[in-house]
Amino acid sequence: VVSVSGGFRLRLGGIWIGMTTPYPLLLWSLLTGIGRHAAAPQQPLLREGPRRLADWLRTSAVRDATTTVAGTRPIIFLVGYLAVFMFGYANERPPLRYFDNELLNLNVRWDAGWYLDIATGGYRFTPGEHDIQQNVVFFPAYPMLVRAGGRLLGGRVLAYVMAGTVISLAAFWGSLIYLYAFTRDALGRDTARCALWLLATYPFALFFGGIYTESLFLLGVIGAFYHFTNRQFGRAACWGGLVGLTRLNGALLSIPLLVLTVSRWLPARLVARPGAAAEAWNPSIAIGERAFAKALAAAVMPPVGLLIHAVFIWRMTGDATAWATGHAAWGRTYEGLGSLVANEFSVLTASGLSGTAAYDAVNAIGAAFALAAVWPVARRMGLAYALFILINVLPALSVGGFLSAGRFSSVLFPAFVWLAEVVPAAHRAGWIASFAAFQACNAALFYTWRPMF
């Protein structure tokens, strides 16, 4: 809390009392732990903790997640770094630069500047300027974590860039651990391992290593689904609240969670195709159970996160909807899916794939993949998981067209679980290699400031 808020200084009488750095608190916590251990040596925390950690690190979920991250993230950074020198920047120079060193500056791309701005300087708002981009549209969970990490690392600009990168990579690693457990419990280890590699090599998975919210959003979403389906509703509520504080569409996570809550009363053909996997992913909760109230409370937590951000922005700006209406400055206004199709068709017939139309076409591939997965996901996994895909794709297409559609599709984990299940084992390597090659192409575009965001 001190790292995020900057602490406080109070004057009581003639005495100043303050706490503006987290280091004394960390030292106090360490001394308290040592004192507690000395007072109760029959419970050796210093011995039991490392043993449990070592056992956890040896689990198949952690090992496979670690291998996947190590096998995909460094090479994407290398591709981006080489692309800067081999292809050059789109307009000969980057529009945003924090360092002269290209390696240090590598992750300062596109929206990263906004998150770093919030982490270092907080939210700012200019009333009446609806045509300019303002940082109130970005939700606080990720930049506040970056702020805390940056201050712990020293508080310099480089510290915040390092913190953002580490937080994204750590969240991605955690999301892969959850994805492995979620898939393994229903489909086995081989399919779970394949799901990890398909997700990590997906053409738009490059954002999981960037200073973007994708990793944190994915972690919160899979964590919420995993604990919800295992009837651990307190943990599911915590992850759901985090999702609501991470992105605007995070509040919509309530819809699939509510469907899971009432799935017992839905027609069988709407829930999923009969099978052990569908049963594992669709808990049956009777309305008379105490668990039903807990499930209902967990399901409504994502909008609470949105409400917290909305109240904060309202207190700061006097405008309760500034966080939503500000998206118009990014070109995100409602046009409907019909207008999207008509506009894209007219552009393609007039100028083909030149200019921004080419980038729209690439992003459209991500949207098409997500929409193609809706029906098979509904049949194999359940209605809730298909709705999760739809609520993350259709609203974005309606208000922004194909802008960032590929990036948005990267967090739709049910599509990768389905793909891992249906792709024959002999063909998995080919899918993974093709995905990785496409991701390398997108990474070269992203890191050289082409409009791949």
Q: What is the pLDDT of residues 60-109, one digit of tens each?
A: 999 999 999 999 999 999 999 999 999 999 888 889 999 999 999 999 99
How does pLDDT run across 336-366, given as a tens digit for each residue?
Answer: 666 666 676 666 666 666 667 788 889 999 9
Around Cβ 93, how many Cβ atoms within 10 Å? 9
Which of 104, 94, 191, 247 shows the shortest CA–CA distance to 417? 191
What one-character DSSP code corresponds to residue 178? H
Q: Note whether 361 and 383 are within 8 A (CB).
A: no
Bridge-partner residues for 8, per DSSP? Answer: 19
Q: Which residues of the chain have pLDDT under 50?
A: none
Q: What is the pLDDT of residue 282?
A: 81
Q: Which residues are within 8 A (CB) of 369 and not within 5 positions of it... i.e. 6 or more apart?
A: 409, 415
Strand pairing report for 8-12 and 15-19:
antiparallel
Sign of the torsion angle spanned by Cα atoms 30, 36, 42, 43: negative
Q: Which residues are within 8 A (CB) of 275 and not within 5 positions of it... i.e. 6 or more apart?
A: 380
Q: For residue 12, which phi and psi values (nearest 5 degrees)? A: -110, 105
Q: Which residues are within 8 A (CB) of 48 and not within 5 positions of it... i.e. 6 or more apart?
A: none
Q: Note whether 320 and 266 are within 8 A (CB).
A: no
Q: What is the pLDDT of residue 117?
A: 95
Q: What is the pLDDT of residue 273?
A: 66
With 0-12 CB in 10 A as exposed, 13-18 as middle and 19+ as buried, what is 56?
exposed
Q: Note whether 409 and 393 are within 8 A (CB).
A: yes
The rounded radius of gyration (Å) of the Cα atoms in the chain is 23
Bridge-partner residues for 15, per DSSP? Answer: 12
